[in-house]
Amino acid sequence: MRPLVFMMLLLLGGRCQGDHEVLAKSEEYWEKLKKTERTIIEKTPIWEDFSVRGVESELRKFLLPHHLQQAKHFKAIRTDSEIEVILQENQLISLESDHAGWFFYNVPAKYRYGRPEVLQALRDIEAAIARQMQLRNADATLKFAISSAIR
């Protein structure tokens, strides 16, 4: 990969004095590329998830029965004031983490909570993704988007 970065520097008109300076410039350029890539990955909206009604219907066909089975054990949260009460009762916990394998997409901070079982499920998904990345020797960080937490 570094020869490619070096060639890109030369093609872009980078003028360097000796190999050490070339390497330093290519390392700096490489870090900027990685930072740009991370920004794109973390900030780009995920339009394809539910942009087509058929995709949403297909996902719901498999997930809805399971979700309904799990949800029947919990009282529905209908107002923001109910969230505060449930938080004080320690039935909800924050799902936010700077080091997590997920990020919130269009979820206001006040709704980034879930039951402890939800946090464990997110960690399980994160671990499964990490295992797959490791099996493929992928040198990348992959995060999944959470578009809804409290409903």
**10 vs 43: which has the higher pLDDT:** 43
User: Would you tell me how many other CB atoms lie within 10 Å of the CB of residue 122?
Assistant: 19
pLDDT of residue 56: 65
When pLDDT is cut at 50, 70 and 90, the band that residue 80 belongs to is: confident
When pLDDT is cut at 50, 70 and 90, the band that residue 26 belongs to is: confident
Best mean pLDDT range from 1-5, 58-62, 110-114: 110-114
pLDDT of residue 20: 64
pLDDT at 122 over 80: yes
**57 vs 113: which has the higher pLDDT:** 113
Contacts by residues 2-6 (CB-CB < 8 Å, ≥ 24 positions apart): 2/26, 2/30, 5/29, 5/30, 5/33
